[in-house]
Amino acid sequence: MLVDKGNHKHFMAKEIHEQPEVVGHTLAHYIDMVHERVALPSEMPFDWKKLKRLSISACGTAFYAGLVAKYWFERFAKLPVEIDIASEFRYRDAPLEEGDLAIFISQSGETADTLASLRYAKEHKLHVLSVVNVPTSTIARDSDVVMPTLAGPEIGVASTKAFTCQLAVLACLAIAAGRARGELSEADEQKLVHALIEVPRLMTQALTLEPQIEKLAVELSKTRDVLYLGRGTSFPIALEGALKLKEISYIHAEGYAAGELKHGPIALIDEKMPVIVIAPHDRVFDKTVSNMQEVAARGGRIILVTDPKGSQESTIDSAHTLTLPEMASTVTPLVYAVPVQLMAYHTAAVIGTDVDQPRNLAKSVTVE
Ligand code: G6P
């Protein structure tokens, strides 16, 4: 298939902008839009109720999608989740129980570490489910169940649209698990699904922040280090933000759970250090604000990514505030990923790096 950049300067920009559409396609594959219910396209070869534990493994950006999913599976389905970076999973002798479920997440479906973990799980007689973007890939072929993401070909080495599509699939799967295990009522399911259906529209709104982010990127391009903070499902988005920025702009960036700030990274904060805080107005918002106060007190430059309520209630003077629309807290990881991707993209574009093919990185890593 021939893929071009359309009107965009880089594939990455095009792929960021495609998200409302491809996330919409992916959701339509897993949701009965009329009844606002999850309708998984394949039968599960196991009983959700009998599962004692779920193991998730993946690499890079796909690992962060798994980290978000851990919060969802535990909250919606009360299913304990263990999550590993794939290269660690099979060497740490985790006690695995026959008949439990292992989920592997991979855009390419060819990542060697993820594939090796999958085979390890099979040796231990776990059910193997994969979330992949390439349905003909080795990981897909070796799985008991394949849940495809319908992101279309992703060319930019730094994953963007595949990530949000992975989140869309994993959210549907966690809701299905919650229903099957009797932890979510029909009304709960409808509410969650309704929120997911809103995501493409919310992403389109998030993309309108681009001119503001382009200006901010000029400032970010002059810095040496950037810290990203978040709590709950915004923590993996902070990790993903830092990964995106370092991958393509070569600026050192770290993602941290906001509450962990005081246990180390606070020592780095001075007036030169931008601190990007991912803080939708959710149940941990007040806690994140108190972490922001610690940054402000040390002269750190706060870039706050929040919603209207959050920007109203935050008592901190931030250097910049990016305001996203109000949304259900379940879907914030999908929508907040957009400004985070745009910040990395525009910073790299200002610096002039090879955004689509950053040095030393490969789209698919087939060696361990
Ligand atoms: C490489 C890519 C990343 C990707 C990771 C996992 O490091 O540069 O963008 O997240 O591999 O790839 P996968 O295809 O398994 O999702």
Tell me, yes or no, if the pTM score tops 0.95. yes
Catalytic pick from 5, 287, 309, 363? 363
Give the whole-angstrom CA distance, residue 289 versus residue 286. 5
* Residue located nearest, by CA, to atom 8 of ligand 1: 363
The whole-chain average pLDDT of the chain stands at 94
> Measuring CA to CA, how many Å separate 174 from each of 46, 69, 177?
15, 7, 5
Q: Residue 170, SS3? A: helix
Q: pLDDT tens for residues 237-247?
A: 999 999 999 99
Sheet strands side by side (includes 127-132): 81-85, 54-58, 101-106, 127-132, 145-148
For 60-79, b/e burial (b = at least 16 CB within 10 A) is bbbbbbbbbbbbbbebbbeb
Give the whole-angstrom CA distance, residue 142 versus residue 129. 9
Give the whole-angstrom CA distance, residue 91 versus residue 69. 23
Q: pLDDT tens for residues 324-367?
A: 999 999 999 999 999 999 999 999 999 999 888 888 888 888 87
Question: Ligand 1 centre from 58 Cα, in Å?
Answer: 9
Q: Where do the DSSP E strands lie in the chain?
A: 31-32, 37-38, 54-58, 81-85, 101-106, 127-132, 145-148, 225-230, 252-257, 274-278, 301-306, 320-323
Choice from 56, 147, 361, 363 to test ligand 1 binding pocket (greatest atom count within 8 A of CB): 363
Question: Ligand 1 centre from 63 Cα, in Å?
Answer: 9
Q: What is the pLDDT of residue 365?
A: 82
| Distance from the Cα of residue 97 to its chain's centroid | 28
Q: pLDDT tens for residues 156-193?
A: 889 999 999 999 999 999 999 999 999 999 999 999 99
Indicate whether 316 pLDDT > 90.
no
Q: Residue 160: CB within 6 Å of ligand 1?
A: no
363 is catalytic: yes
Question: Ligand 1 centre from 87 Cα, in Å?
Answer: 13
Whether the complex's predicted ipTM is more than 0.90 is answered with: yes
The arithmetic mean of pLDDT across residues 75-79, rounded, is 98
